[in-house]
Structures are given as structure tokens and as C-alpha cells.
């Protein structure tokens, strides 16, 4: 549940829960508080209605006494005894003979109000259908009769509603108190619940942030809820993972840098040592003939040229690795492009007794690429084939295959091949499939690493397949496009 809906729900519950508790509490109290089997908790019953119900019960007692001996209502002791049979502190009898009051309860006398009782046999008006109110009392006519001497007699029931009102006010205070207590408790519980639902994830975020601050990127933030905090924690967890990956990548870069320095030192030290040796030979007069002098100078030149190539490759690979090398992408026909490169290289390769073949469909296939850097890719792969040629005349076959979304280019030779355990590493920088780093094989181990970087910049993939004494195939892909752009050899490559 989101925090927005959680706050809305808590607001609703803050109103509903106290109201529900109060209703339940009132219902329980109405069942518990009872007097003479009649509820004195008058939540729904009016005092006049309560008095009327009580009146119906007392009327039966009065009728029996009138039938048995009507003159007994002249006896005050008898009336008081009859009141006791009513068994109610809130009810009393008023007896009137003609216009004189024979008996009146003390509570009514002390009320201080003049009674205006309904006259003998008087028809009740609309206001007098139920009862008359006098202060704290409800006065109801029970019965009109004649004494034995012909005098008019009337009996009234006085019902004291003062105690009921007092009790009702007491219950009202109880309700207000209970409502306050329940409201405070329920709102407190809901507030604490919402508070914890907000503070708990904040504490977890704080702990995770402190852990990252201390350099610990291994502690996961754990499970997170499906709310706004969950989204923040999810983003925080992704940040932690990326920081961890970045840290690991930084460590890998540091390790690679050490290896790079070691390899550069090795590949530079070898030609420098040779140059120094030949220079010292010249200084010491070892090259005492023009033939030896020419040989020494040519060797020094060759070693210096190798160093120059190594430095150029190092600079190029460094720019590619830092993604600071500029690419100039165009849409061009890969078939025509490869035909031109193969024709250009075939003349030089034939001098080395190397056969170069192109296998491609007879159609136009357009790709997106940098023509100059793709030329470097093809030359580096073929140079690598020449370095590791076998005992047979080297044959290099180039295959172009159109696929749904890309173009697959395969450059395969019949050279010595690469062992299976070394094949996954041939695209790593400074790696050579020759543990001894034999200097008889010209190269610095950067050619295929540069090829991989260039293909990756083209959003392509590159891989190799090889078998010992059968040959090696280098595969790479280029993204195919439908837009035709004019292909001009003179301007593009």
C-alpha cells in the first residue's frame, strides 16, 4: 500500500474506530445498567414513554383495590402500603377526594410547584393525552371513581424523572470520558503504526547509506515494500550494486593497468635492448665492413619502427578504451566495400604466396560503420593470420552472410590454429597465444584487442573459432540498414 493511501486509511480509521468502540460500549452498558427490569439508560426511550409503561403496570393494582374496597383510599397508611407494593423509588401515588388532596408523596410536596391535576372525568386534551409535567415529575391520571358516600375520587401516578435525568447525565459523562480515552488510544495506535511504517524504511536507508559511506558495498538493503519508500529503496539498492560493480571494475582496471605496464615494459625493453646492443657494436667497431654496418643500421631501424608501431597501437587502444576515439559513421554497401579492400590487398598477399578469396552474395547490402576503422579491423585480423600461418601455403577466405538484422563477416585461415584453453583470451590486450612471447613472431598483442573495441563501437559482436592444425575463423557482425547512401571509394576510404 502506498503512503498516500496509508495516510488516507489511517485518517478514516481515526474516525471509524472510536465511533465503533463507542457504539459497542453503549450497547454493553445498556445491557448492564438495569433497574426493576426496565432500562434506565434512556438512549432511545423518552422519560414520558417510560412513565407510561410503568403506569400500565400500576393500574392493575389500583383496579383490584377499588373493586375490593374503594373506601380504603381514605386511609393514608393503606396508600403508603400500596406505594411500597409499587417497588419503585421513582414512583408515588396522589389521591384526591373531590377537590382535596388526601395523599401526596413528600417528593412532590417538596417540589414547590402548584399542581394542576386533571378534573374529575375531564376529557383529556391533545396536550394531556399522555401526561402532565410538573418540574421533575410526570403526573398521570390512573383512575376516576366514587367513594361509597358518593364523593368523587381520583388516583394519579407521579413519576420522578429527576433521577433518570441525573443518571442520563452521569452516563453522558461516562460516554464522553470513554470516547476521549478510546479516541486517544486508537489515534495513538494508528499514529504509531503510520510513524513506524515511515521511520523503519528511513532507518534502513540511513543504515545502508552509512554502510556505503564506510566503504562497505556488500550489505544489501533487503526486501522493500510496494510503496514510495519501496521505490526509493529499490533505486538505492540499484545504486549500491552499480557502485559495487564500479568498484570491482576499478579494481580490475587497476589490475589491468599493472599488467599493461608490465607488458609495455617487456615489449619496449626488448627492442631497446637490441638497439643499444647494435649501437654499442657500431661504437666498438664491430661493424667494420660496409655490409655489417648496413645490417646493423637496418636492424636498428626495424626495431625503432616496431617501437613506433607499438606506441601508436598503445595510443589508439587507450583512446578506444576511454571512448575518446572519434568515429565517422556512414551507411554504405558492404559488398562493394569488401571487394575493394580484397582487391587492394590481394596484390601484396600474392607476393607472399598467400591466396585471398571473397565469398559474398551478388547484391547490395547496406550497413552502418566507419570505413577507415573497419579497414583497420580487416587488416589486423589478416595480419594475425599471417603471423600464425602453418606449414602450408596460407589461404584466407572472407565470407559475407546477410542475416535478418545484421551482416555476419567471417575471415578464416588454414593456419596453425589456437588451443581451446587460449581461445577465450585472444581479444585481451597484450595476449598472445604463445606463452613464451616469442620475439620471432612480430606483434605486441594489441591487434585483436583493438579489433574488439572497434566492433563494439559499431554495436556489433566478435568471436573466434579454431582447431589446431586446421585453422582459425574470426567472426564479427555489423548492423544492417535499409537506407541507401552513395558509396564512393575515393571519399570514404
Which tens digit of pLDDT belongs to each residue from 387-400? 888 777 899 999 99
Q: What are the strands, taking DSSP E only, across 363-486?
A: 366-369, 395-402, 406-413, 462-467, 471-479
Q: How confident is the model at residue 473 (pLDDT cuts 50, 70, 90)?
A: very high
Q: Give me the domain span that covers residue 67.
A: 47-160
Structural domains counted in the chain:
4
Give residue 136's pLDDT.
66
Residue 234 included in any domain: no
pLDDT at 47: 53
My answer on whether 289 and 367 are in the same domain is no
Indicate whether 346 and 279 sit together in one domain.
no
In angstroms, rounded to a whole number, what is the distance separating the alpha carbons of residues 354 and 226?
66
From 121-130, 219-228, 390-399, the region with the lowest mean pLDDT: 121-130
Question: pLDDT band at residue 112, thresholds of 50, 70 and 90?
Answer: low
- The verdict on 125 and 257 lying in the same domain is no
Residue 432: predicted pLDDT:
58
Residues 284, 406 share a domain: no
- Report the C-alpha gap between 420 and 91 in whole angstroms: 112
CATH for 288: 1.10.287.130
**How confident is the model at residue 40, as a pLDDT?**
41
What pLDDT is recorded for position 461? 93
Residue 97: the pLDDT is 87
**pLDDT beyond 70 at 422:** yes
Q: Do 71 and 195 sit in the same domain of this protein?
A: no
Residues 305, 357, single domain; the answer is: no
Query: How far is 55 from 158, CA to CA, in rounded Å?
Result: 9
Residue 444 CA to residue 447 CA, distance in Å, equals: 7
What is the strand order of the sheet 462-467 is part of? 355-359, 395-402, 406-413, 471-479, 462-467
- Measured distance CA(20)–CA(43) in Å, rounded: 16
- 437 pLDDT exceeds 60? no
225 occurs within a structural domain: no
Residue 358 resides in a domain: yes
CA 47/CA 140 separation, integer angstroms: 13
For residue 240, is it within any domain? no
Give, for 486, the enclosing helix (H) or strand (E): none
N-to-C CA span, the chain? 61
Tell me, what's the pLDDT at 26? 67
CATH number, domain containing residue 479? 3.30.565.10
Q: What does the block give as the cell for 250? A: 576499478
In a domain, 232, yes or no: no
Percent of the chain residues topping a pLDDT of 70: 74
Q: What is the pLDDT of residue 131?
A: 46
For every residue of 53-64, DSSP letters joined together read: HHHHHHHHHHHH
The answer to whether residue 222 is domain-embedded is no
- Residue 128 pLDDT more than 70? no
Q: Are residues 201 and 263 in the same domain?
A: no
Per-residue pLDDT tens over the stretch 284-312: 887 778 888 888 888 888 888 877 777 77
Query: Residues 132, 253: one domain?
Result: no
On whether both 405 and 486 belong to a single domain, the answer is yes
> Are residues 312 and 331 both part of a single domain?
no
Average pLDDT over residues 461-487: 83
**Last-in-domain residue among 127, 160, 193:** 160
Mean pLDDT to the nearest integer, 99-108:
82
pLDDT digits (tens, 9 = 90+) for 170-185: 777 777 787 777 777 7
Place of cell 494508528: 190
Q: Identify whether residues 438 and 394 lie together within a single domain.
A: yes
Residue 486 has pLDDT above 50, yes or no: no
Whether residues 385 and 476 fall in one domain: yes
pLDDT tens sequence across 250-294: 887 777 667 667 766 766 777 788 888 888 888 888 777 888 888
Helix (H, G, I), strand (E, B) or coil at 330: strand
Give the model confidence (pLDDT) of 338-373 as tens digits: 999 998 888 888 888 889 999 999 999 999 999 988
**Which of residues 292, 319, 346 is at a domain's end?**
319
With a cut of 50, say whether residue 132 has pLDDT above it: yes
CA–CA separation, 95 and 144 (whole Å): 10
Residue 239 lies in a domain: no
Average pLDDT of 13-29?
A: 70
Question: Residue 213 falls within a domain, yes or no?
Answer: no
Q: Quick one: pLDDT at residue 490?
A: 37
Quote the CA–CA distance of 472 and 419 in Å, as a whole number.
10
Longest dimension (CA), the chain: 180
Least confident of 151-160, 315-324, 338-347: 315-324
Question: Alpha-carbon distance 58 to 79, whole Å?
Answer: 13
Amino acid at each position: 500500500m502506498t503512503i498516500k493511501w496509508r495516510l488516507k486509511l489511517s485518517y478514516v480509521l481515526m474516525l471509524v474506530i472510536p465511533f465503533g468502540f463507542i457504539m459497542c460500549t453503549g450497547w454493553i452498558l445498556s445491557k448492564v445498567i438495569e433497574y426493576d427490569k426496565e432500562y434506565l439508560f434512556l438512549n432511545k426511550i423518552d422519560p414520558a414513554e417510560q412513565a407510561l409503561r410503568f403506569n400500565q403496570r400500576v393500574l392493575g393494582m389500583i383496579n383490584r383495590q377499588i373493586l375490593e374496597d374503594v373506601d380504603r383510599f381514605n386511609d393514608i397508611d393503606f396508600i403508603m402500603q400500596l406505594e411500597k407494593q409499587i417497588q419503585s423509588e421513582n414512583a408515588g401515588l396522589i389521591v384526591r377526594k373531590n377537590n382535596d388532596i388526601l395523599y401526596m408523596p413528600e417528593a412532590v410536596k417538596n417540589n414547590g410547584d402548584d399542581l394542576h391535576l386533571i378534573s374529575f372525568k375531564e376529557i383529556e386534551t391533545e396536550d394531556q393525552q399522555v401526561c402532565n409535567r410538573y418540574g421533575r415529575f410526570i403526573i398521570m391520571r390512573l383512575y376516576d371513581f366514587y367513594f361509597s358516600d358518593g364523593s368523587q375520587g381520583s388516583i394519579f401516578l407521579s413519576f420522578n424523572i429527576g433521577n433518570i435525568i441525573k443518571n442520563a447525565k452521569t452516563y453522558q459523562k461516562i460516554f464522553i470520558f470513554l470516547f476521549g480515552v478510546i479516541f486517544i488510544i486508537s489515534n495513538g495506535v494508528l499514529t504509531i503504526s503510520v510513524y513506524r511504517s515511515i521511520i523503519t524504511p528511513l532507518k534502513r536507508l540511513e543504515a545502508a547509506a552509512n554502510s556505503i559511506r564506510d566503504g562497505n558495498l556488500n550489505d544489501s538493503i533487503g526486501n522493500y515494500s510496494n510503496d514510495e519508500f519501496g521505490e526509493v529503496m529499490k533505486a538505492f539498492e540499484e545504486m549500491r550494486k552499480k557502485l559495487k560493480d564500479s568498484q570491482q571494475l576499478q579494481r580490475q582496471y587497476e589490475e589491468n593497468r599493472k599488467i599493461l605496464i608490465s607488458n609495455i615494459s617487456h615489449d619496449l625493453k626488448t627492442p631497446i635492448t637490441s638497439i643499444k646492443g647494435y649501437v654499442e657494436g657500431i661504437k666498438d667497431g664491430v661493424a667494420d665492413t660496409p655490409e655489417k654496418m648496413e645490417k646493423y643500421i637496418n636492424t636498428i631501424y626495424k626495431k625503432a619502427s616496431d617501437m613506433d608501431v607499438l606506441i601508436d597501437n598503445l595510443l589508439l587502444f587507450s583512446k578506444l578504451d576511454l571512448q575518446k576515439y572519434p568515429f565517422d559513421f556512414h551507411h554504405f554497401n558492404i559488398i562493394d566495400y569488401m571487394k575493394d579492400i580484397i582487391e587492394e590487398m590481394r596484390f601484396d598477399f600474392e607476393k607472399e604466396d598467400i591466396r585471398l578469396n571473397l565469398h559474398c552474395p551478388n547484391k547490395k547490402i547496406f550497413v552502418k560503420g566507419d570505413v577507415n576503422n573497419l579497414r583497420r579491423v580487416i587488416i589486423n585480423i589478416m595480419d594475425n593470420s599471417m603471423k600464425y600461418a602453418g606449414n602450408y601455403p596460407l589461404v584466407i577466405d572472407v565470407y559475407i552472410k546477410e542475416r535478418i538484422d545484421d551482416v555476419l563477416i567471417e575471415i578464416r585461415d588454414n593456419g596453425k590454429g589456437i588451443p581451446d584453453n587460449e581461445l577465450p583470451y585472444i581479444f585481451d590486450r597484450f595476449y598472445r597465444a604463445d606463452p613464451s612471447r616469442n620475439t620471432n613472431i612480430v606483434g605486441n598483442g594489441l591487434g585483436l584487442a583493438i579489433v574488439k573495441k572497434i566492433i563494439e563501437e559499431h554495436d556489433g559482436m566478435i568471436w573466434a573459432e579454431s582447431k589446431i592444425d586446421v585453422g582459425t575463423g574470426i567472426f564479427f557482425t555489423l548492423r544492417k540498414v535499409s537506407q541507401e547512401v552513395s558509396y564512393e571509394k575515393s571519399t570514404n576510404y
